[in-house]
Structure 1
Amino acid sequence: MGRLICTGITSLDGFIADEQGRFDWSTPSEEVHAFVNDLERPIGTHLLGRRLYEVMRFWENAHTRPGMSPAMLDFATLWRATDKIVYSTTLTSAGTERTRVERTFVPEEIRNLKLAADRDISVGGPDLARHAFRAGLVDEVRVFLSPVVVGGGTAFLPERIRCTLDLIEDERFTNGAVFLRYRVNT
């Protein structure tokens, strides 16, 4: 059985993008990126909202771009090796390999996916994560706190969701970022 994991790189005040939609302040250092890659290795399927998918499409061809660091090349390989399910009412088809588009998030389908999975599943994008949290499907929350306060924007965690968490791992990085890994209590 796979776990459903919600991961984000956020500002200290909990935003994945600032009020202008920028997230350049969250670009991970090589050290952080290598750590992210190790967390991504067990992921077999990504559940993505449309906006996050459009950002992540970069990784489909990143290995062909000049100047990619070893950690970036490794992540591109990991990205291409996973299945992706994009939830969108506007996309008619996906432009990446191993990707399918679904119109609606159906909790029972995700429960069945988790039961049948031999690898973990990630959920990304605040709107999609909200549906997964409300359905009680999220098993872990992983957050990389960037040493910056942006004052507003797109929140990582959905509003009006309450759950208790157990800290099961933490890590500090030389660039001031901090990783926190929590198990969701059900």
Structure 2
Amino acid sequence: MGKVIYWMNTSIDGYIEDPDGGMDFLDPAEDFHQAANDEVRRIAAFLFGRRLYEAMEKPWTQDLGGEGAPAIEREFAQLYKQTPRYVFSDTLQTVPDGVTIVRRKDAVSVVTRLKQEIDGTLQLGGPELAASLLDLIDEFWVCAFPVIIGGGKPYLPVKEELRLRLVEHRSFASGIMFRRYVRP
């Protein structure tokens, strides 16, 4: 049976985007990038909200990771392209090979089915999508970058309390902190 992890990089004050929608403050240092690549090797599929999909797809399939790019970026681009990707969107009409469109109304049933069919990690990304699939998330991963941005899009926009138990934490020389939580 598959496991859904919600993994997003944030500022230390809990935002995945700045007030203008930018994510430049999330530029990963090499130590963190290598650890992320190691984790991506174990991912069976990416589950993306539309905005995160658009932020990831073109850069990692066309712009980044090409000849002349640092080896760590080339490695991530290759891993990204090899991993099946699902984008949850009501507006997209076409996607490239390797990507499947899922309509938002079908999100719960599709993710439930994927958890049953795929023996591996399903990496969920996108705060609104995560909020809509909250009951299906097995683990919450937060990678906090050493910056305070003071506002923007939060890690998880929910209006309810959800108690979690910390099961792993790591710090990187670059100052990035990784925390992994599960439900108690």
Which category of TM-score, normalised to the shorter sequence, fits these structures?
over 0.9
Provide the TM-score with structure 2 as the length reference. Answer: 0.93
Query: What is aligned with 2:13?
Result: 13
Deviation sequence 1:99-146 (CA, Å, 0-9, x none) = 01122243132112101112210111111111111xx10001111111
Counterpart CA distance in 2 for 1:74 and 1:21 is: 27
Query: What is aligned with 2:78?
Result: 77
1:174 deviates by 1.1
The residue correspondences of 1:1-186 to structure 2 (distance < 5 A) are 1-57=1-57, 58-61=59-62, 62-66=64-68, 68-94=69-95, 96-104=96-104, 105-133=106-134, 136-185=135-184
Counterpart CA distance in 1 for 2:121 and 2:45 is: 7
- 1:64 aligned counterpart, secondary structure: coil
Deviation sequence 1:43-99 (CA, Å, 0-9, x none) = 111111111011101111333253x222211111111111111111111011x3310
Counterpart CA distance in 2 for 1:89 and 1:115 is: 24
- 2:65 aligned counterpart, secondary structure: helix
> Structure 1, unaligned stretches of length 5 or more?
none
Which amino acid counterpart does residue 165 of structure 1 have in structure 2?
L
Q: Which runs of 4+ in 1 moved over 3 A?
A: none
- 1:106 aligned counterpart, secondary structure: helix
Q: Is the 8 A contact 2:65 2:76 kept in 1?
A: no
Residues 161 and 122 of structure 1, relative CA distance in 2, 3 Å threshold: farther
Counterpart CA distance in 1 for 2:42 and 2:99 is: 18
How many residue pairs are counted as aligned between the two chains? 181
1:166 deviates by 1.5
Counterpart CA distance in 2 for 1:101 and 1:108 is: 14
- 1:63 aligned counterpart, secondary structure: coil
Q: Is the 8 A contact 2:87 2:99 kept in 1?
A: yes
Q: Is the 8 A contact 1:138 1:184 kept in 2?
A: no
Residues 63 and 171 of structure 1, relative CA distance in 2, 3 Å threshold: same
1:38 deviates by 1.2
Deviation sequence 1:158-182 (CA, Å, 0-9, x none) = 2214222111111111111111011
Provide the TM-score with structure 1 as the length reference. Answer: 0.92
Counterpart CA distance in 2 for 1:138 and 1:153 is: 23
Residues 79 and 45 of structure 1, relative CA distance in 2, 3 Å threshold: same
Which amino acid counterpart does residue 34 of structure 2 have in structure 1?
A
